[in-house]
Amino acid sequence: MPAGHHTVLLVGAGADPRDLLVQQGYRVLLASTSVQARAMMVRDMPRLVVIDLAGIEQDGPGLLAWLKTTPVSVGIPVILLATTDRRDERLTGLAAGADEVLAHPLDGDELCLRVRNLLRLSTASPQGLSGVAQQVAILNAVPANIALIDLQGVLVSVNETWRRHAALNGMADEQDAGIGRNYLAVCDAPAGPESVESRQVGAGIRAVLEGRQDHFSIEYACDKPAGRSWYLLSVAPLGEAERVGAIVMHLDVTEQRRAARKIRDLNATLEKLSIQLLQAQEQERISLARELHDELGQRLALLKLNLHQLNRLLVLPQARALWASIDADVSTLIDQIRVISVSLRPPVLDYLGLESAIGQLLEHQFASSTTTCGFDYAGVPAALAPSVEIAVYRIVQECITNVVRHAQASRVVVEVNGGESGDELELIIRDNGKGFDRATLAGSVLPDGSRSGLLGMKERMALLGGSLVITTAPGQGTRIVASLALTKHE
């Protein structure tokens, strides 16, 4: 492979080694500090590193150790340029992981040969630098702040989104967007209200790095010059057989939170409007029931009284027969209006409460039926909110109508109790009828094509913050349970 296809990173070296390698056709990068070297390892993906201890003596051993233990550089050959030709110095460099140790004064020809041979013999793992290069290219395309950290928590690499975020939020003066800085130390640093959340983040990252967790995530607020934003922090391990670090991602979820809040506000508005609509419907029912009872009912009663007075004046048998027919029709009409008025708004619900209203409803429905009905009412406060009373009454009314029309049941039981905790209302309606297949229900339509009213019942309970559960199967009857916390409606 031609030399020009390889990139060599010189750390702390002068112009002479650079010129020699450039003459051989290598692409040469220069780094004066270990921080710059770490950044270039990820950004430029060199295939070989030369560390000149004469130019970076204090940071040299630490950089060498980092290169041999960090996922971005494991398997990359490293040549160490020692300050002297002493045997102990060469052995120390080799023991630290250097692939070759050369001494000053530097032999340029030997350096070029050593570089060529090491590149030929390079056995960089496919999961090493080349794999990381592909990963970094992918991460740069992700619109989230992403960083790679080693097992000690040191920032090894960051993507372009992270760099832009740092520049836009007052961190542009931090060298190379924080690469080389210990991220765990950053998490441990804050004091005050932010310290609790920061410690949670630090603890989560440590748990992933140490193998105690496979993943960690937390949502947090961030106050920036442009205002408050929200981020979702996710941490996942790097390495398969053995963990070599972690990937840390900060995803901006501010817009999602605003959208979710808007949806919640819209749902709250819709719920409020739905409740107002139900209340308006009930008020209209009350008004209509009152009109039927007080106006039309009284007028029909007066008509019936006049008919009885007319009866004295009738002589012909045909006239008396016609009178009897009209009298019967008026009586039937009065009864029908009374039934409609009660169904619209049972007066007993206003004067005697829910228990009496349900009792009268069941007595009326099953008075002339072969179906037996049991009713139990216990553990419920004597006074309930009007919205709760009418919702429970309407559900019982709808369920009993379904039983009479469709269930073919011989036994029906209605129970109203205070639930397991005693501070809720639980309504249970069960029958031993033919039941139905819920898969064929299609929302609120029974198999015979008629409307079941189940959707309306669920909506009533949902608007009050309750729930309605239906248990049924063909041939196994039906059980409906409506539950509602009373603490919300005191």
Q: What is the pLDDT of residue 129?
A: 42
Q: How far apart are CA 159 and CA 335, in angstroms?
A: 80
Share of the chain above pLDDT 90, in %: 19
Taking 70 as the threshold, does the pLDDT of residue 216 lie above it? yes
pLDDT winner (highest mean) among 240-254, 256-270, 423-437: 423-437
Q: 3-state SS string over 363-389?
A: HHHHCCCCCEEEEEECCCCCCCCHHHH
Q: Would you place residue 181 in the very low, low, confident or very high pLDDT band (cuts 50, 70, 90)? A: confident
76-128: pLDDT as tens digits: 899 998 888 888 888 888 888 899 999 888 888 999 999 988 888 764 444 44
Pick the closest to residue 425 from 383, 472, 454 (CA basis).
383
Is pTM beyond 0.75 here?
no
Q: Give domain 142-252's CATH number out of 3.30.70.1150, 3.30.450.20, 3.20.20.70, 3.40.50.720.
A: 3.30.450.20
Q: Would you place residue 294 in the very low, low, confident or very high pLDDT band (cuts 50, 70, 90)? A: low
Q: How far apart are CA 56 and CA 73, in angstroms?
A: 19
Q: What is the pLDDT of residue 1?
A: 41
Task: Provide mean pLDDT across the span 449-461.
Answer: 71
Q: What is the pLDDT of residue 74?
A: 72
Q: Give domain 3-121's CATH number out of 3.40.50.2300, 3.40.718.10, 2.20.70.10, 2.40.270.10.
A: 3.40.50.2300
Q: What is the pLDDT of residue 441?
A: 55
Q: How far apart are CA 27 and CA 82, in angstroms?
A: 23
Q: How far apart are CA 432 and CA 430, in angstroms?
A: 7
Q: Which of 131-135, 387-391, 443-447 has the lowest mean pLDDT?
A: 443-447
Mean pLDDT rounded to a whole number for the chain: 80
How many residues make up the chain in this entry? 490
Q: What is the pLDDT of residue 292?
A: 65
Both tokens of 371, joined, read 């179906």
Q: How far apart are CA 460 and CA 358, in angstroms?
A: 17
Q: What is the pLDDT of residue 489?
A: 52
Identify which has the larger pLDDT, 133 or 208.
Answer: 208
Neighbours of 325 (CB within 10 A): 10
Q: How far apart are CA 390 and CA 345, in angstroms?
A: 9
Buried b (16+ CB within 10 A) or exposed e, 240-273: eeeebbbbbbbbbbeeeeeeeeeeeeeeeeeeee
Q: What is the pLDDT of residue 193?
A: 64
Give me the architecture of the 351-490 domain, per CATH: 2-Layer Sandwich (3.30)
Eight-class DSSP state of 334:
H
Q: Is there a contact between 385 and 354 (Cβ–Cβ < 8 Å)?
A: no
Q: How far apart are CA 448 and CA 435, in angstroms?
A: 12
Q: How far apart are CA 65 and CA 52, in angstroms?
A: 15
Identify which has the larger pLDDT, 167 or 261.
Answer: 261
135-158: pLDDT as tens digits: 666 777 778 888 888 888 888 778
41-68: pLDDT as tens digits: 766 778 899 999 888 767 788 888 888 8
